[in-house]
Structure 1
Amino acid sequence: MNRVAARGLHATAQRVLQYSGSVNLGDVISTNADGAEWSDSVDSGCNMIEKADPRIKQAHIQGARAHRSSKDRNDSKDVITVALLTATGTRVGSAHFHLDGSFKFFPSRAGKLGGFADNLQKAGLVVEEGGPERNTGGAGDENNPAQQSSSK
């Protein structure tokens, strides 16, 4: 293989989001009745987020079982929560993925200050300002939760 082709493959390999932590997509598949669909939703959404900001390199699935969010009370759908991190482990936010392929992204303080939230918005992804990253108890942004649908 010539150097140009090898370099192209290497660059692509560098952009691939890595799943870290003790829970993986296989666990999501085996734990839920619709596990393959949940896995596809998480993987597709994480790839959309990583494409919008390539600095996001790691996805840490918080739990394999789909559940109702205790932190985003306006979300009536079951979710799988995934923390999103840079290559150095800086947490830039979390996302709640739904079975139908939609998701909500909640930037952390580092995600806002580092421009991650802005980059996701510029890419057409909806960024939720309230919810899991801070629970102020006020009306604010949490009354109108935003969702992003992935195209399947």
Structure 2
Amino acid sequence: MKKSLIVSFSILCLGSAMTYAAEQHYSNAAIGKPGVLENVTRTVEIEAYENRFSPSEITVRQGDTVRFIVRNTGEKKHEMMIDTMQHLREHAKMMRLHAHMEHNEPNQVTLAPGEQKELIWQFTHAGVVDFACPMPGHFKGMRGKIIVEEK
């Protein structure tokens, strides 16, 4: 009885996390859309390491398609996720509950120590777009801003 209760609870938690992940989409109206390599207008290198991104502030122009080359030079697994601060906070909260959840969204990359990946994004609206590492214990310090200047 006890074993089946634990299994049932585990399945329920996993199902909740998967439902959340399936319903949790980046807020493209506010932050832009996935970019295409052929349309890249600029490349930005970002270093992710223990509780920091460098640079943590980037300026681009509305309409730019940016190729982010993100390199994890730290000792821990990190993510770079582009979204609104509200969605980043929600995602960080979910990651605290389900730390081993895997992602496959176009607005984020997950990096093991020493790994490098690309994220290509087109910034369609002027304003400020946020990015962060939503991994448990990282979110408070690993944040940055992308300032999107009007054309």
| TM-score after normalising by structure 1 | 0.26
* Bigger strand fraction: 2
* Bigger helix fraction: 1
Report 1 or 2 for greater relative contact order, CA contacts < 8 Å, sequence distance ≥ 6. Answer: 2
| TM-score after normalising by structure 2 | 0.26
